[in-house]
Amino acid sequence: MNEIARDPAADLGRLERLEGIGCARKRREDPRFIQGRGTYVDDIHLPGMLFGIMIRSPYAHARIKSIDTSRAKAHPGVHAVLTAEDLKPFKLHWMPTLAGDVQAVLADGKVSFQNQEVAFVVAEDRYIAADAAEMVEVEYEELPVVVDPFKAMLPDAPVIRDDLAGKDVGAHGARRHHNHIFNWQIGDRDRTDRAFDAAAVTVSQDMLYPRVHPCPLETCGCVASYDAVRGDLTVWITSQAPHVVRTVVGLLSSIPESKIRIISPDIGGGFGNKVGVYPGYVTAIAASIVLGRPVKWIESRNENLTTTAFARDYWMTGELAADTDGRIKALRVKVLADHGAFDACADPTKWPAGMFHVCTGSYDIANAHVSVDGVYTNKFPGGVSYRCSFRVTEAVYLIERMIDVLAQKLGIDKAEIRLRNFIPKDKFPYHSALGLDYDSGDYTPALQKVMKAVDYDALRAEQAAKRADPDCPTLMGIGITTFTEIVGAGPSKSCDILGIGMFDSCEIRVHPDGSAIARMGTISQGQGHQTTYAQIIATEAGIPASVIQVEEGDTSTAPYGLGTYGSRSTPVAGAAVARASHKIREKARKIAAHLLEVSPDDMEFDLDQFRVKGDPARAKSMKEIAWAAYNNVPEGMEMGLEAVDYYDPPNFTFPFGAYLAVVDVLKATGEIKVRRFYALDDCGTRINPMIIEGQIHGGLTEGFAVAFGQELPYDEQGNVLGGTLMDYFLPTAVETPHWETDFTVTPSPHHPIGAKGVAESPHVGSIPCFSNAVIDAFAHLGVTHTGMPHNAYRTWQQLLALNIAG
Ligand code: MCN
Ligand code: CUM
């Protein structure tokens, strides 16, 4: 072969100019954000725009005897006061939820949680609306309240959902009590029971993953604008899934989807809080249609924290069966899931407990059985949010805590027991006892790398010395988690939302000058998609990222997609981006061959050009090819250079990680200091290491907040406590520990570029790691579990109970 000598420096220059996969490219969106030039929903101001405010119930459970809106309606500047009665003619007083349940848009005869939506006041501005809201007189008759899911299932518990009276079958099968939503089981119960009967050792542990809230900086809201003359509805909305909102609005309103435009502009954090459809959106749209004026609705912080998609509230019992050497034989799990007054979980339709069945974790466990019961209580609806990967947070918490409980019982080191039970590398693709097919993983080197980096043996030696010293002022704890995530919902055969398969999409248009615009069905809420999608196109299609415009979130321009949550953007839309790039590349190959008068098979792709095999000096750059696409294409070929791809993944992707935390508990105060946190993540091919690190820092910080402070408790009357930032803990740089990050790379075998999602891993993996560390500090005193949040007060109580405070 006649190889022409190449200039490696010139190649490197071309590679750097592309800023492709692997490049720590700076975030393209930041110059706008840090200069205050973002466009959030509340930045939208339309001529003639009105403002809506929700009137909410002070009671957690009450019958509505009457609503008198006359004074409010007469107040100057008020345009409408809507109640359920006003929405009934349009059949908009109830709406379907993503979980197959229904939810009252405005209370229809009764309220079932504190702050439930009762009426909607529309006025010239927010202040007039707030004044008028005070004038609406609602007469309530209080009903008995139940906020404890166990009590909700007692025979004489108050009936929360009158509308379901007599319905003993719900969206997910039989209901066995008036407050029961579903029972969902997976795995082989008999085999698992037999494995437990035969096991040398068994352990059991109850644990609550408390109700928390993602608390994004921007609350939820929308601006609805109905043009009565054109019959068009445009809605600017804080939504992680704008196309899904379009379909739901179309179904509810009977307006054809072609006349509905949903725009998610900049979103100030979503974290799963902005997946669902909320009553405020529906009332704003209804008011705009009725009044013929644009209507804005923006939540307050308290409304956001007490009415929109909370997370967790999972009451779990785990059991492990094992040999005396710690080899696990079986896992059995029972869960009571508190869904609040309506089941509005955002899970794929088939799985009412999301991906909870990834709870066998990174371990080769032959037998497993899971049973989850969903229950109604007098609390606000939700359950699936907060970097959760559809309940993987709860699943990983359960298994990682259970492994520690087992290790403690057997006196085996907590790293060692994990190494003994890992799914071996040669078993991938691995079929789990609960029916999932793990695509790839390599767990042992990941944990070993972490142990080496922190000098694990030295840490354990230090801990042993401190335990032996009764005068030591601290208790030292070491926490480990070796988690497996499941992200990339999903194969349409198993995942859908409202019947629409969970594929995703990308459309790329290359302009004559070689620059390009790309649009996806996903929407960034801070994840940096503008930056990273362009990097995929750069590598896969040879177009420099700097000339690629990435656009998301406008249903009138983007191809249909299911949105951004469940860390699915990279595994699903990212694959569509790669495949659309390949389509561009293949057309470019033919054009280049035509220009150079050779066969397309004789062309090879080289960074940003096609060159002739064996004669690399003869080449056409992508820029030249783009120009030719608009004036000189082979005979029979269409002009232009663009591609669309709809990607239905064959499987999920299974990112994983090994985390280690070191904490010191101060015996004098119960305070806990996180001395070290080392996070190793494996998300397959890494597109942008800097963005990955940012995602991990963010997720770890949230994990720290959940483990040590966040909680949304209720009192017996159903008052939600912690619904303001006075009470709800949001860590700042002051409290947040220092994070150390690391990685290994185990590509996904089925993803076109081998990438797995990463955004939720740090949250999923860190919370059990913190708990394991805190509980490890007390392990030598016989403690097997303490509940979150591990705040100073609780820890102090524990020190007192153990007689070691001071
Ligand atoms: N990435 C990468 N290489 C990989 C995987 C991801 O470079 N192998 C990059 C991606 O290109 C993308 C970012 O990391 O820019 C996150 O990608 P991915 O893991 O695919 O997750 P999504 O983009 O689908 O984000 C969703 C996820 C979820 S579900 C929650 S909840 C959450 C999270 O993102 N909400 C966030 N991170 C958030 N970060 C911010 N700033 N704001 C939120 O609301
Ligand atoms: Cu479950 S929180 Mo994210 O999937 O938007």
Give the domain ranges of the chain: 41-143+219-267+275-307, 392-485+652-801, 504-647
Q: Which is nearest to 710 in space by CA: 336, 340, 337, 214?
A: 214
Q: Give the DSSP letter of residue 570.
A: I
Residues 400-427 as b or e (16 or more Cβ within 10 Å = b): bbbbbbbbbebebbbbebbebbbbeeee
CA–centroid distance, 389 to ligand 2, in Å, is 6
SS3 of residue 476 by DSSP: strand
| φ, ψ dihedrals at 437, nearest 5° | -110, 100
Question: pLDDT digits over 605-663, tens only?
Answer: 999 999 999 999 999 999 999 999 999 999 999 999 999 999 999 999 999 999 999 99
Return the pLDDT at 12: 78
Ligand 2 pocket, Cβ-based, cut-off 6 angstroms: 240, 270-272, 275, 384-388, 390, 565-566
Atom of ligand 1 at shortest range from CA of 568: 24
- Per CATH, which fold does 504-647 belong to? Aldehyde Oxidoreductase; domain 4 (3.30.365)
Residues 318-345 as b or e (16 or more Cβ within 10 Å = b): bbbbbeeebebbbbbbbbbbbbbbbbbb
Q: Is the CB of 698 under 6 A from ligand 1?
A: yes
Do the domains at 41-143+219-267+275-307 and 504-647 have one common CATH topology?
Answer: no
Question: pLDDT digits over 66-102, tens only?
Answer: 999 999 999 999 999 999 999 999 999 999 999 999 9
Q: From CA 658, how far away is CA 664, in angstroms rounded?
A: 20
Question: pLDDT digits over 220-233, tens only?
Answer: 999 999 999 999 99
Q: Is the CB of 568 under 6 A from ligand 1?
A: yes
Cis? peptide before 789, omega within 30° of 0: yes
CA–centroid distance, 132 to ligand 2, in Å, is 36
Q: Is the CB of 689 under 6 A from ligand 1?
A: no
Return the pLDDT at 498: 87
Residue 562 above 60 pLDDT? yes
CA–centroid distance, 701 to ligand 1, in Å, is 15
CATH 3.90.380.10 fits domain 41-143+219-267+275-307:
no
Angle at 788 between CA 783 and CA 793, to 5 degrees: 85
Residue 2 above 60 pLDDT? no
SS3 of residue 705 by DSSP: helix
Q: From CA 457, how far away is CA 431, in angstroms rounded?
A: 34
| Token pair for 520 | 């996806």
Residue 5 above 70 pLDDT? no
Q: From CA 795, how far away is CA 651, in angstroms rounded?
A: 43
In SS3 terms, 44-77 reads as: CCCCCCEEEEEEECCCCCEEEEEEECHHHHHCCC
| Token pair for 86 | 């006003």
Please give the full DSSP string across 623-683, using - where no structure is assigned.
Answer: HHHHHHTTT---TTPPSS-EEEEEE--SS-B--EEEEEEEEEEETTT--EEEEEEEEEEE-
Residue 498: other Cβ atoms inside 10 A: 13
Q: Which is nearest to 392 in space by CA: 660, 745, 697, 766?
A: 766
Q: From CA 472, how far away is CA 476, in angstroms rounded?
A: 10
What residues contact 494, with CB distance under 8 A and at least 6 apart?
348, 350
* Residue 6 binned pLDDT confidence (cut-offs 50, 70, 90): low
Mutate to test the pocket of ligand 1, among 695, 696, 745, 751 (most ligand atoms within 8 A of CB): 695
Q: From CA 20, how far away is CA 546, in angstroms rounded?
A: 10
Question: pLDDT digits over 401-426, tens only?
Answer: 999 999 999 999 999 999 999 999 99
Residues in the chain: 806
CA–centroid distance, 384 to ligand 2, in Å, is 7
* Axis crossing angle, helix 456-468 with helix 443-454, rounded to the nearest 10: 60
Return the pLDDT at 1: 36
Whole-number average pLDDT of the chain: 97
Q: Residues of the chain with pLDDT > 70: what percent?
A: 99
Q: Is the CB of 528 under 6 A from ligand 1?
A: yes
Q: From CA 783, how far away is CA 792, in angstroms rounded?
A: 17
Residue 7 above 90 pLDDT? no
Question: pLDDT digits over 113-155, tens only?
Answer: 999 999 999 999 999 999 999 999 999 999 999 999 999 999 9
- Identify which ligand lies nearest to the alpha carbon of 684: 1
Tell me which architecture the domain covering 392-485+652-801 has in CATH. 2-Layer Sandwich (3.30)
Question: pLDDT digits over 439-494, tens only?
Answer: 999 999 999 999 999 999 999 999 999 999 999 999 999 999 999 999 999 899 99
Question: pLDDT digits over 119-128, tens only?
Answer: 999 999 999 9
Return the pLDDT at 621: 98
What residues contact 477, with CB distance under 8 A and at least 6 apart?
463, 661, 662, 663, 664, 665, 772, 773, 774, 775, 776, 777, 778, 779
Question: Is there a contact between 247 and 561 (Cβ–Cβ < 8 Å)?
Answer: no
Would you please indicate which residues are annotated as catalytic (active-site) residues? 240, 387-388, 760
* Residue 4 binned pLDDT confidence (cut-offs 50, 70, 90): very low
Question: pLDDT digits over 572-619, tens only?
Answer: 999 999 999 999 999 999 999 999 999 999 999 999 999 999 999 999
Q: Is the CB of 703 under 6 A from ligand 1?
A: no
Q: Is the CB of 271 under 6 A from ligand 1?
A: yes
ipTM of this predicted structure? 0.99
Mean pLDDT of 204-224: 98
Please give the full DSSP string across 389-405, using - where no structure is assigned.
Answer: TTTHHHHHHHHHHHHHH
| Token pair for 447 | 């944990």
Residue 606: other Cβ atoms inside 10 A: 15
Residue 553 above 90 pLDDT? yes
